[in-house]
Amino acid sequence: MRKSVLLSLNVLCASVVWSQSPPAQSKLSVHWEELTAADFKDAIARAQGTCLLPFGIMEKHGPHLPLGNDLLNVRYVALTAAQQEYAVVFPEYYFGQIFEAKHEPGTVAYSRGLQLQLLQETTDEMARNGCKKIIIVNGHGGNNSLLPFFAQSQLETPHDYVVYVLGITRSAAGEPKHKSNPATDMHAGESETSVSLIARPDLVHLDRATQESGADLARLKLPEGLYTGIWWYARFPNHYAGEGAVASRDLGAFEAQTWINGIVQAIRAVKADQESLRLQNEFYERSRHPLDTPQ
């Protein structure tokens, strides 16, 4: 009697363990390129059609960080977030706006038309494969104008999917005190270098961070609100803004975690969002015959 109770308890425990933690080989990777074709179908279903497109760049990052810094950092936070709230993550993508660094070694700057066409065909292909909700996770400040324009231009012609853009969300209240001036801590400076110390510490050459100046040269004297493309070169021609030398793992851990939390929140919000696609479809339908739109 006692033995059979024990036995059935064992069976019960085994089935509970089985249902809570499937064997390692059946765990679905979040990496698009690591899935088999059959597993990809399961992954899209598990992700509820939600996919991430982490967007980096190849450009100089001061004297001390790798050319692929933005790609490496954005993939680190996006992959970590997708493991917490399941989403399928598209492979390495770094075909963004970076004309302002063409004078520096190692920059890869595709033409304006190709950037938009490649991004459109990439999201079209993602959607054709079931990614009906695509979150572009931006990791590069030079894309800050490109990506909202791309998302907005999805209204030009009907699409059966929604593009969302998530900006860089690293800093938050309660973070460790900065040692450098936050106003010019932008590119390869204290914050960004700190995140790199978490994502890829092996590629950070902190001892070289003072070999160039990250000071703001402020060479343009234009009123606020008046924009011109050479603004970045006018201020930071070395592609260095701030002081990377004062970076710390403490600050990096905080900012990386803040960024990861922001992505997790975005994935959950996008999974729950049923309105964007419905409204897009209503809009596309009305835009075919605007004179019928109620006035």
Tell me which residues touch Zn ion (CB under 5 A).
70
Nearer to Zn ion, 30 or 198 (CB): 198
Q: Provide, rounded to whole angstroms, the least separation between the CB of residue 263 and Zn ion.
A: 17
- Tokens 């938009």: give the residue: 116
Distance CA 57, CA 98 (A): 8
Distance CA 138, CA 116 (A): 15
Q: Which residues contact 130 (CB under 8 A, 6 or more apart)?
A: 41, 44, 49
Nearer to Zn ion, 70 or 243 (CB): 70
Distance CA 266, CA 272 (A): 10
Nearer to Zn ion, 70 or 100 (CB): 70
> Is residue 165 classed as helix, strand or coil in its secondary structure?
strand
Instruction: Answer yes or no: are the C-beta atoms of 251 and 194 closer than 8 Å.
Output: yes
Q: Provide, rounded to whole angstroms, the least separation between the CB of residue 192 and Zn ion.
A: 5
Q: Provide, rounded to whole angstroms, the least separation between the CB of residue 142 and Zn ion.
A: 9
Nearer to Zn ion, 55 or 150 (CB): 55
Q: Provide, rounded to whole angstroms, the least separation between the CB of residue 97 and Zn ion.
A: 13
**Residue number closest to Zn ion, CB atom:** 70
- Tokens 């190692």: give the residue: 106
Q: Provide, rounded to whole angstroms, the least separation between the CB of residue 143 and Zn ion.
A: 11
Distance CA 171, CA 154 (A): 30
Q: Provide, rounded to whole angstroms, the least separation between the CB of residue 247 and Zn ion.
A: 13
Give the burial class of 175: count Cβ atoms within 10 A of its Cβ; 0-12 exposed, 13-18 middle, 19 or more buried: middle
Nearer to Zn ion, 70 or 255 (CB): 70
Nearer to Zn ion, 231 or 284 (CB): 231
Nearer to Zn ion, 70 or 190 (CB): 70
Q: Provide, rounded to whole angstroms, the least separation between the CB of residue 100 and Zn ion.
A: 12
Q: Which residues contact 153 (CB under 8 A, 6 or more apart)?
A: 116
List the Cα angle 43/34/167 in 5-degree steps.
70
Instruction: Answer yes or no: are the C-beta atoms of 223 and 210 closer than 8 Å.
Output: no
